[in-house]
Copies of this chain bind each other. A is one copy, B any other.
Amino acid sequence: MTITDQLVKFASAEVPQDAQIMMRLSLFDWAACGIAGATEPDFSDFVAAQLARGQGPATVFGGATAPAGTAALLNGTLSHALDYDDTHFAHIGHPSVAVIPAVLALAEEVDAPLNEVVEAATIGVEASILTGLWLGRGHYQIGYHQTATAGAFGATLGTARLLGLDPKEVRHALGLCASMASGLKAQFGTMGKPLNAGLAARTGVEATLWAQSGLTAAADGMAGPLGFGATHHSADEEVKPGKGQWHITTISHKFHACCHGLHAMLEAIGTQRLNDGEVTGIHIRTHPRWMSVCNIETPKTGLEAKFSYKQTAAMALLGHDTGATASYTDAICKDNAVRALRDKIRVSEDERIAETLSEVSVTMANGGLRRLRHDLLEPLSLEMRAEKLGVKAVSLVGDARADGLWQAAQGGDLRAFMAQLVMS
């Protein structure tokens, strides 16, 4: 069985409870990120221009409605605008921003209950992680934005599950997706990065709807001859959908409002507070994979700051709240204290350490040496995770709204949940 055969079968898999519980946490977190992201002024002209080009039944962050494809595009983009949404390190992608907007947009059309949305989104997120694993590291390393590419396949399978496509239609939907899934890491640090997530979500909606309306496509668009794998540097790694613990149960949520590649380093720094005068040098060691992702040497904008080891390390050590989106400004890049500390930081790569791990060595002016380390895969209980996500949501959308969102995400009513996205 190829990956296509496996995913066609997986579309109708039974979804375990622990996977669904994690999905509901991600749903809550995704919504908080999107509500906050929609208030960013950068995307407002783009959003307005899209909304002017078509009406429809699907809710968009901020309160407008649009056709399902447009809503998926906009909600995917806006929920990734802050780069604060969840990640899975097994395939280095952000699964929720591609899958959830696609499933929700079509769920509104068919008026599905929230538990079906959760099941479909779980299938979709799991499929995107499986696709990422199948593609392997080389795909990401050469320049593909896995959030967008693997994400599109996940969004396709999630929506196909929701609408109950038959196996032949699911196959065509995946085949169509193979011609549409795209997105480059070259966009990192530009508005093109969040857009990639939105495009993946739209691709999922369209591949599913178009297969349902009778479009045919390559029988094995993923692993077949001239297919997505052959063209997009897939390693064709073996995967086992639905076997054992689902990958979604080890998803990582972000507690710092910057690129996930920086989080192990920021968790290692933790509550350490140091200024320029106390330090002679700081050495950050990380996996080579991150060097092309989030190692901007001298960021000039708030957006670039989110992709910079030196900048975020200096901010954290000086006590700036790296969990607050408001901390990432153009001004903080020019701040004298931050720049002085930043200049003492060296970043180096080491293939022997895990991608989820970072080590920070601080040489003190008094001759001492502090060695800090953190691995993001260290277990985090569901209770602790929910608590940390709650604190994050309050910082993003305020106390009352975080509470309403939490209740709705745990419930069964799709309309009640969507209403939370558009409250002002």
Contact = CB atoms under 8 A, between A and B. Distances in A.
Interface string A137-148: 000001111001
Nearest to A292: B226
Interface in A42-97: 42, 45-46, 48-49, 53-56, 67-70
Contacts of A327: none
Nearest to A209: B49
Contact of A215 (B180, B181, B191): B191
A178 B56 CA distance: 29
A424 to B, nearest CB: 23
A185 interface: yes
A169 to B, nearest CB: 13
Interface stretch (A217-225, A262-270, A348-356, A403-411): A217-225
Contact of A148 (B176, B179, B209): B179
Interface in A184-213: 184-187, 190-192, 195-196, 199, 209-210, 213
Kindly state the interface size class of chain A when it binds its partner.
Answer: 35 or more
A341 to B, nearest CB: 28
A218 B192 contact: yes
A277 interface: no
Interface stretch (A5-13, A159-167, A227-235, A243-251): A227-235
B191 A216 contact: yes
Contacts of A379: none
A53 to B, nearest CB: 4
Contacts of A232: 231
A183 interface: yes
Contact of A226 (B185, B196, B210, B217): B185
A81 to B, nearest CB: 12
Contacts of A45: 213-214
A175 interface: yes
A182 interface: yes
Nearest to A219: B190
A225 B291 CA distance: 13
Given A54-B53, A210-B46, A215-B195, A227 B176 contact: no
B179 A181 contact: no
A233 B230 CA distance: 11
A49 B142 CA distance: 37
A220 B210 CA distance: 32
Contact of A218 (B176, B184, B225): B184
Interface string A299-319: 000000000000000000000
A250 B175 CA distance: 34
B144 A231 contact: yes
Given A221-B184, A226-B184, A192 B214 contact: no
A286 to B, nearest CB: 18
Contacts of A180: 182, 199
Contacts of A145: 179
Interchain residue pairs A-B with the least CB separation, the first 3: A54-B54, A143-B226, A192-B217
19 contacts: A46-B213, A53-B56, A53-B68, A53-B69, A54-B55, A54-B67, A143-B231, A148-B179, A175-B190, A181-B182, A182-B182, A184-B226, A185-B226, A186-B220, A186-B226, A191-B215, A225-B292, A231-B232, A231-B233
